[in-house]
Amino acid sequence: MNLKSTLKKLGYAKVHKQMNDVFLKYTAKVVFLIIITFSINLFFSGHYTPGGGFVGGLLAAAAIVLLLLAYDLKTINKMIPFDHKWLIALGLTLSVFVPLVLMIFGQPFFTHQALYIELPIFGEVPIHTAVFFDVGVYITVAATTLLIITLLATEQAMSDSEGADRS
């Protein structure tokens, strides 16, 4: 009896795979938080430097794809219980609504204004209407990317189950 067959009898491969899965899932959660934090940083820095809603939304979608690789589609759908199509509609509505409101008040379509609010610790802080526009872009890009990835993953899962049924 050799070492390989002994390990096989003890179920080493199964235990080894489970250990890898636990490590992958834990690491994916940690890296997900890092990527989402960087995505939000890119989103807010995009008004003064390169970045913004588009790049931030893509990075947020990439973080969720990382979770999809570590877990399965069913688990991801439980983690993010929103319909991607509604999020796309929400993002598009927000992106179009902000410039339209400014246009109604006599401003050119993409002219952005700064609203100043008083915060207890920070004092007077400007909030630009461009932030609200970029939130819409962020949501739209992230949801569209996730919808595409989800559709591809669903199609792959269906073709895998059909292949298993044939065997």
Residues 82-139 pLDDT 10s: 888 999 999 999 999 988 888 888 888 777 778 888 888 878 877 888 888 889 999 9
**143 contacts 95 by C-beta, under 8 angstroms:** no
**DSSP structure class, residue 97:** H
**Distant-in-sequence, close-in-space partners of 139: CB < 8 Å, separation ≥ 6:** 57, 87, 88, 90, 91, 94
Query: Measured between alpha carbons, how far is 18 from 22 in angstroms, rounded to an integer?
Result: 6
Query: Measured between alpha carbons, how far is 116 from 121 in angstroms, rounded to an integer?
Result: 14
pTM of the prediction?
0.76
Mean per-residue pLDDT for 34-48? 85
Phi, psi for 115 (deg, rounded to 5): -105, 135
**56 contacts 42 by C-beta, under 8 angstroms:** yes
**136 contacts 53 by C-beta, under 8 angstroms:** yes
